[in-house]
Amino acid sequence: MEERVMSELLHRYAHARAGDKGDRLSLGVFVYQEDHYAWLVEQLSEPNVAALFEHRGVSHVTRYLLPHLKGVNLVLDDALQGGVNGALNLDGHGKTLSALLLSMQVTPPT
């Protein structure tokens, strides 16, 4: 009998791009296969994303569904520790945070 994998990394099923505006991070996430879109929406709930970025002090996550593009736009408030002009970290734009999202443990699609 074949054993089912219980979790995988999101990057196996989707790709992402990050953008910023002040202290607000925008993450666009798009599935590789169209039939995985409903699964992506299920995995990237606002509470799941907020939990992943909790250590960054995110105050609010808003999710926008992009069904025609088979993607999701996630907007995270207060994710950039002040943004490019206010943060002393090396990634004030938050570009590497798309990689953090793609490292999220997910339940594989069926």
Are 62 and 25 a contacting pair, CB within 8 Å? no
Separation CA 73–CA 83 (nearest Å): 19
List pLDDT tens digits, range 48-89: 999 999 999 999 999 999 999 999 999 999 988 776 666 656
pLDDT confidence of residue 32: 98
User: Does the pTM of the predicted model rise above 0.75?
Assistant: yes
Task: For the chain, list the domains and their CATH numbers.
Answer: 8-106 (3.30.70)
In SS3 terms, 2-68 reads as CCCCCCEEHHHCEEEEEEEECCEEEEEEEECCHHHHHHHHHHCCHHHHHHHCHHHCCCEEEEEEECC
107 DSSP assignment? P
